[in-house]
Structure 1
Amino acid sequence: MQNFEAFREIIATPQKIVITTHFKPDADALGSSLGLAGYLKKKGHQVQVITPSDYPKFLFWMQGHEDVLNYEDFKVQRKASQLIADADMIFCLDFSALSRIESMADVVRKSKATKVMIDHHINPENFATFVYHDAKAAATAQLIFQLIVLLGDKHLIDIPMGECLYAGIMTDTGSFRHPSTTPEVHRIAADIMEIGVNTNRVHRRIYDSTSLDRLKFLGYVLSEKMVVVPEYRIVYFVVTAEELKQFNSQTGDTEGIVNYGLQIDGIVMSVIIVDRPEAIKMSFRSVEEFAVNGLASKHFSGGGHKNAAGGKTTGLGVEATIQKLLNLLPEYKNELLSVPR
């Protein structure tokens, strides 16, 4: 972290702290936020986690979830805005651009609080006083663990905090199978296990707590909505607003579906296109050297990691978005065909 000693000096005394993360938080975003919140509370700080939206029910088990404020909830929005305005420090976790917190962005930007960014996505914006950024890190939860260790407080990480951080690392590494899974990541996971965290239970809480509707939805998408384009070695899925309604889809129900495309022998890129009220949302996954973050950034107002990125279109509609994707494939054909599988 830049200016680490200055950061250490500030948090040595109690502060009013807000922790926030990106829109539609995943396990790394929420796990990092609640893990850090648990630590800061132990250090005597007044801490409030505020998310810019709701998040999946399969994350509700995390300790501290019940105290999280959802900024989209009009009942708490005024309170949340006041907490942000009055904060001494705002920790921005798992995002590197204020646009990622949607309607909260202006409130956070205008707050006079000292801002701290902790993130592992590329091309961070220059909006924070303190930045702990590493694009090679497997997860933001990894960075939170490392920061606590740097502060000399590893002994303060308890089982609930460890569960939150492990969940973030586990999910962002694809259960430790993505290229970002380094020896250091495994060492951190081992340290968390030694605290007493039941990692099997964390895995089951996230991956084995699906609803019947979601399971039926998954089966439908895989059997009816998957399109294979073998000449370009890609797979794509399209989910309409009507289909989301038909299967009573909840926040998080489309998460992970895109990964199934990469299970097909020879496939290099998988894409899911989902018709949301605010935009056509897209998730990209790839293998080996084919980088989807560049494609998402250049063509779909997105970005992310080399092999996992997001994007969107506005004003195009589903069919036009599909056609835009297909029209781009010739541009990337040589790269797609050269990737070993």
Structure 2
Amino acid sequence: MNLTQAQSVQQLLSRPQKIAIVPHKNPDGDAIGSSLGLCHYLQLKGHEARVIVPNDFPKFLKWIPGTQEILIYEWDQSNAEKVILEATVVFTLDFNDLSRSGAVEKSLQKVSAPIVMIDHHQAPHDYASITYSDVSMSSTAEMVYNFIEALGDREIINADIANCLYAGILTDTGSFKFASTTSRTHRVVADLIDKGASNSEIHNRIFDTNTPDRLHLLGCALNNMVILPEYNTAYITLSQDELDANHFRKGDTEGFVNYGLTLENIRFAVIFIENRDEGIIKISFRSEGEFSVNEFARAHFQGGGHTNAAGGKSELSMEETTSRFVALLDQYKSELAK
């Protein structure tokens, strides 16, 4: 965060404010961890802060300090919108296009208060009064740490803030294995542990709470994996019937897409998940090296994200979607062979 941005935020927060914090639809560990970490910090500074999420989030994140105070827009739209519209400052976290906020977008469009964006995805839209965007960052949670530090308050980070931010960084870095993890990330994490983040317990709560249904679903996903060695690519499909048969719950497919990249010579991994209620195939893309799944998702599947991690969607059937995907690979063959 640069000096001008820090000074602008300090001026905004120089007196007590009513603050709404909104992450993206289908919030993940980084969205929840960064939002709650920021919320705890702002409350410590004397502000009235509240997190509003567009829809529910996975059970394995519901231990994070402050989750019981989150307002879920899809369950309580009236109160959630009231908090947003009465806010004197609004923070949007872990997204940079209002469409990523789902149903909350219509409330955010009505906001007259200043909006502060904190995000690390590519191609930010110009909707915020203050935009703190850095695509080199490992996570929005690491950016919230930088935000607090830029405001001169690193020393007041307590255990609640530390646990929230650690959880966000842990999940968005793939347990610190993704290329976006830097030496700075590790120094931030070390400081968070010193300030009370229970690193081992956080890891257990996020990754070691599987149900038999989730493991059976993982088995189904791996059984469905298609490997295309000529394109160094692997993809997984999961139909709505397969999700239903394994009693799918929100968050159960988290991380499944990464299994393709554990195969030798595979550089591009994809998972296609049917959502019958929304009438779409939800797609997650992952890559290794310089192949940009952000560009691929933007060009072909109404999506985007990071160079090595992105999302998208298709309104075609599963068979039509995967056929289209495979047909596209030939034009990327040289890039995928590198």
* Aligned mate of 2:72, from 70, 83, 86: 70
Deviation at 1:3, TM superposition (A): 3.6
Higher alpha-carbon deviation: 194-203 or 127-136: 194-203
3-state SS of 1:270 partner: strand
Counterpart-to-counterpart distance in 2, 1:265 and 1:9: 52
Deviation at 1:212, TM superposition (A): 1.7
Deviation at 1:253, TM superposition (A): 0.7
Aligned partner letter, 1:61: W
The residue aligned with 1:160 is 160
Deviation at 1:196, TM superposition (A): 2.6
Q: Cα deviations across residues 14-37 of structure 1 (Å, max 9, x unaligned)?
A: 101000100111100000000000
The residue aligned with 1:177 is 177
- Structure 2 unmatched runs, 5+: none
Counterpart-to-counterpart distance in 2, 1:196 and 1:100: 32
Task: Work out whether residues 6 and 150 of structure 2, in 8 Å CA contact, stay in contact via their aligned partners in 1.
Answer: no
Matches within 5 A, 1:1-341: 1=1, 2-73=4-75, 76-222=76-222, 224-276=223-275, 277-278=277-278, 279-314=280-315, 316-338=316-338
Counterpart-to-counterpart distance in 2, 1:7 and 1:265: 47
3-state SS of 2:180 partner: coil
3-state SS of 1:4 partner: helix
TM-score w.r.t. length of structure 2 = 0.97
3-state SS of 2:99 partner: helix
Deviation at 1:4, TM superposition (A): 2.6
Counterpart-to-counterpart distance in 2, 1:236 and 1:3: 42
3-state SS of 2:271 partner: strand
3-state SS of 1:231 partner: helix
Counterpart-to-counterpart distance in 2, 1:211 and 1:66: 22
Q: Cα deviations across residues 231-284 of structure 1 (Å, max 9, x unaligned)?
A: 111110010111111111011111100000001111111100000122210000
Counterpart-to-counterpart distance in 1, 2:293 and 2:283: 11
Counterpart-to-counterpart distance in 2, 1:171 and 1:67: 22
Deviation at 1:213, TM superposition (A): 0.9
Counterpart-to-counterpart distance in 1, 2:7 and 2:197: 31
Aligned partner letter, 1:266: N
TM-score w.r.t. length of structure 1 = 0.96
3-state SS of 2:312 partner: strand
Counterpart-to-counterpart distance in 1, 2:323 and 2:5: 47
Higher alpha-carbon deviation: 76-85 or 29-38: 76-85
Task: Work out whether residues 283 and 312 of structure 2, in 8 Å CA contact, stay in contact via their aligned partners in 1.
Answer: yes
Q: Cα deviations across residues 13-65 of structure 1 (Å, max 9, x unaligned)?
A: 11010001001111000000000000001111111100011110000000110
Deviation at 1:140, TM superposition (A): 0.2
Deviation at 1:310, TM superposition (A): 0.4
Aligned partner letter, 1:33: S
Counterpart-to-counterpart distance in 1, 2:201 and 2:282: 31
Q: Cα deviations across residues 144-191 of structure 1 (Å, max 9, x unaligned)?
A: 001101111112211121111011111111111111111111110111
Counterpart-to-counterpart distance in 2, 1:329 and 1:61: 41
3-state SS of 2:193 partner: helix
Counterpart-to-counterpart distance in 1, 2:71 and 2:142: 24
Q: Cα deviations across residues 272-303 of structure 1 (Å, max 9, x unaligned)?
A: 00001222100001101111111001000000
- Any runs of at least 4 consecutive aligned residues in structure 1 with deviations exceeding 4 A, and if so which? none
Task: Work out whether residues 224 and 236 of structure 2, in 8 Å CA contact, stay in contact via their aligned partners in 1.
Answer: yes
3-state SS of 2:168 partner: helix
- Structure 1 unmatched runs, 5+: none
Give the aligned length: 334
Counterpart-to-counterpart distance in 2, 1:4 and 1:124: 19
What is the CA RMSD across the aligned residues, in angstroms? 0.9
Aligned partner letter, 2:333: K
Counterpart-to-counterpart distance in 1, 2:318 and 2:160: 41
